[in-house]
């Protein structure tokens, strides 16, 4: 079984650039396919994908619980990727759930307002 998580993007180029900082491979992209444009990224296990989709009109507003959590397996990996994201101009933010900070995760908000949580835990 495979799974693809799709979510709206307000600024597809900027949001795709944010996720490229994680060295996620772009598996596919499409422009104006029945009014939709998007990028599909492969997640570390090839059976999971993240699709960013832009469509005319306003996408829904994300909440603090709209999160993509990446369990990176080590504090060093969290430092590496969070450093790359910070160098691109994004600062970590405290998540509403204190669990993440207690467990060494670093949290960012992507250009569309969705949370990215980099956790040192291995799931």
pLDDT digits (tens, 9 = 90+) for 24-59: 999 999 998 888 999 999 987 778 899 999 998 777
Q: Considering the entire predicted model, what is its pTM?
A: 0.89
pLDDT digits (tens, 9 = 90+) for 52-93: 999 987 778 899 899 999 999 999 999 999 999 999 999 999
Give the fold, CATH level 3, of 3-119. Answer: 2,3-Dihydroxybiphenyl 1,2-Dioxygenase; domain 1 (3.10.180)
Give the Cα separation of 106 and 103 in Å (integer): 9
pLDDT band at 2 (very low <50, low <70, confident <90, very high): confident
Based on the number of CB atoms within 10 Å of its own CB, is 35 exposed (0-12), middle (13-18) or buried (19 or more)? exposed
Q: Is the dihedral of CA 32, 34, 39, 42 positive or negative?
A: negative
Write down the mean pLDDT value for the chain.
92
Would you say residue 1 has pLDDT above 90?
A: no
H helices within the chain, ranges in order?
A: 12-20, 75-87, 99-102
pLDDT at 35: 87
């Amino acid at each position: 079984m495979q799974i693809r998580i799709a979510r709206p993007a307000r600024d597809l180029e900027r949001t795709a650039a944010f996720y490229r900082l994680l060295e996620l491979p772009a598996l596919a992209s499409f422009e104006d396919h029945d009014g939709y444009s998007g990028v599909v990224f492969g997640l570390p296990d090839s059976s999971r994908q993240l699709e960013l989709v832009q469509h005319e009109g306003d996408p829904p507003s994300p909440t603090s619980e709209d999160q993509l959590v990446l369990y990176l397996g080590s504090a060093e990996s969290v430092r590496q990727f969070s450093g790359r994201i910070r160098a691109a101009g994004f600062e970590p933010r405290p998540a509403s759930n204190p669990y993440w900070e207690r467990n060494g995760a670093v949290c960012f908000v992507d250009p569309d307002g969705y949370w990215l949580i980099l956790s040192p835990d291995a799931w």
